[in-house]
């Protein structure tokens, strides 16, 4: 299996790194990790995998999907947090503008 097996392990490693970066809010690193994962996926599955162990591929795909579910949860939570902070800023700006208009 060789190179394909190494690429599959790197796919898992890249996914785990993305999860760690997401948990610390390092979104640029998450994006770079996703680019690397896309490259790996293209390399792994652009051609039929005659030499690939089906059980190994199944295990890797399931592991990556589990990581993706966790990554999605962190991403959704971060988006909701950013949205609430943005809404608070907009509300604060409106209040300041109203105060400025009525204070003189």
pLDDT of residue 36: 96
Whichever domain contains 10, its CATH number is: 1.20.58
pLDDT of residue 85: 80
pLDDT of residue 81: 84
Q: How far apart are CA 96 and CA 82, in angstroms?
A: 21
Per-residue pLDDT of the chain (104 residues; tens, 9 = 90+): 468 888 999 999 999 999 999 999 999 999 999 999 999 999 888 877 667 788 988 999 999 999 999 999 999 998 898 888 888 788 878 878 787 888 76
CB 15 within 8 Å of CB 74:
no
Domain that holds residue 18: 3-103
Identify the CA nearest to 66 among candidates 77, 58, 54: 58
Question: Number of folded domains in the chain?
Answer: 1
pLDDT of residue 101: 82
């Amino acid at each position: 299996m060789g190179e394909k097996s190494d690429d599959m392990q790197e796919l898992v490693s890249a996914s785990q790194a993305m999860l760690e970066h997401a948990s610390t809010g390092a979104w640029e690193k998450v994006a770079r990790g996703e680019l690397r994962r896309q490259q790996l996926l293209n390399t792994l599955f652009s051609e039929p995998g005659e030499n690939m162990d089906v059980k190994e591929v199944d295990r890797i795909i399931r592991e990556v999907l589990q990581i993706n579910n966790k990554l999605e949860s962190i991403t959704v939570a971060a988006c909701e947090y950013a949205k609430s902070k943005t809404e608070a800023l907009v509300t604060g700006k409106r209040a300041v503008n109203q105060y400025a208009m009525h204070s003189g």
